[in-house]
Structure 1
Amino acid sequence: MTSNNNLDFGIVGIQTDNTLILCNDTFTINKINKLKKAQFLSKERELLTQLYPLKFNGSNITLKKEGSIALIQERQYKNLQLVAIYTTDLANARGAIYKAVTPKDQYIIQRTRGAYITTVLQPEAVFDLSFTIQVINLKKEHIKQLNKRLQ
């Protein structure tokens, strides 16, 4: 079996102001040349290696020894909290404190955080989080279901 290394191969993922590309050298060279020709400004290219992990949209991407790739959203996980059945204070993603957050508002905040994590990192949990969005009259059993998924 022969291969043609001159073929472009690339998979591109774009999120907010970050671009993640899995590609061969031909794709990279063509991309760099086209960006220069168009005089388009872009961030410097970074290469994922075992010694050099990458940051992408708040995530840490690491290359493991066996060749697998791990994507971890540490900041998002740190902000994830269980919903209390009483009013409490909550920190937002930037460390500001929200005072006297009701269980209903906690529920909305945590299901949103959970939905973000699941859509990016845990697609198998999307069904559970999709169910939480349908809740209109919040009850203790809804909080228990959401907390079970958040755990």
Structure 2
Amino acid sequence: IQAYNDNDKNTVLTQSPTIQRVSQRLILCLAVSIQGLNIYLRDISQAYTQSHTFLVRDFYVRPPQELNLPPGVLLKVLRPLYGIPEAGTHWFRTYHSHHTEKLKLQQASYDPCLLFTAKSDKDQTQAIVGLQTDDTLFAGNTVFKDKEQEELEKAQFPAKPLQKLTTSSPLEFNGATLTKTSTGSITISQSWQVKKITLIDTDNATREQYITQRARA
């Protein structure tokens, strides 16, 4: 969907929550501190199209020529697709609800993208989970890992195979490379992100330029 001139996008919520840096660090800290926890990465395929909610506004598009529809025909979009401004918020609600309802996780009070298992969990699952759009980083025990896979298949979310952080298999999450050392510690590298940081002219820089460089730092 090419919605560059969508003048109505200001009437809906288009910015979905993103995980805080401190939450990412917390997941890694607990993984190396608590015995039995491993770091895993889950990547959902075509995430936005898996949303369970409908658009709350009327949204029409011109069909591609490949459909060979009569001239003047418009298609009404009912569910989120890539390119629709609010698609990310619909996916976040769907995937967040999946974790709270199916995996019985609780949301952290300071970060909606950070979830964790209850202390009185009868299934003996242990996990702390970070959501970042279509990527999910979590530290969990084997019981939770198996439950996560089972519920994912029940929900029919297409996803890539679960990746595990090992000394020979680093992970890429939210712009950072996670590496596990032979001693069991975890290092974080953002070398490619650092290369993007540039100096700006404080007298002539726009607000957008400042925000961009501030975020990279």
Q: TM-score scaled to structure 1, two decimals?
A: 0.54
Query: Once structures 1 and 2 are overlaid, which stretch shifts more, 17-26 or 59-68?
Result: 59-68
Residue 103 (structure 1) aligns with: 204
Structure with bigger RCO (C-alpha 8 Å, 6+ apart)? 2
Identity of paired residues, percent? 35
| Structure 1 contact 82–110 (Cα < 8 Å) conserved | no
1:81 aligns with 2:181: no
Residue 176 (structure 2) aligns with: 59
Residue 114 (structure 1) aligns with: 214
| Structure 1 contact 53–62 (Cα < 8 Å) conserved | yes
Gap change, CA 1:60 and 1:35, over 3 Å in 2: same
Q: Tell me the CA shift for residue 40 of structure 1.
A: 1.9
Match of 2:189 among 63, 72, 77: 72
The equivalences for 1:21-60 within 5 A come to: 21-60=138-177
Residue 126 (structure 2) aligns with: 9
Instruction: Tell me which protein shows more helix as a share of its residues.
Output: 1
| Structure 1 contact 16–57 (Cα < 8 Å) conserved | no
1:33-57 CA-partner distances (Å, limit 9, x unpaired) = 1111222222210010111101112
Q: Tell me the CA shift for residue 66 of structure 1.
A: 2.4
Residue 130 (structure 1) aligns with: none
| Structure 2 contact 179–188 (Cα < 8 Å) conserved | yes
Where does structure 1 lack aligned partners over 5 or more consecutive residues? 1-5, 86-101, 118-151
CA RMSD in angstroms, aligned pairs only: 2.2
1:30-85 CA-partner distances (Å, limit 9, x unpaired) = 11111112222222100101111011122111112222212222222111012246
1:18 aligns with 2:18: no
Inter-partner Cα distance in structure 2 for 1:53 and 1:110: 32
Q: How many residues align?
A: 95
Give 3-state SS (helix, strand or coil) of 1:103's partner.
coil
Q: TM-score scaled to structure 2, two decimals?
A: 0.39
Inter-partner Cα distance in structure 2 for 1:7 and 1:113: 43
Residue 99 (structure 2) aligns with: none
Alignment-mate amino acid for residue 62 of structure 1: T
Inter-partner Cα distance in structure 1 for 2:184 and 2:138: 17
Inter-partner Cα distance in structure 1 for 2:147 and 2:208: 45
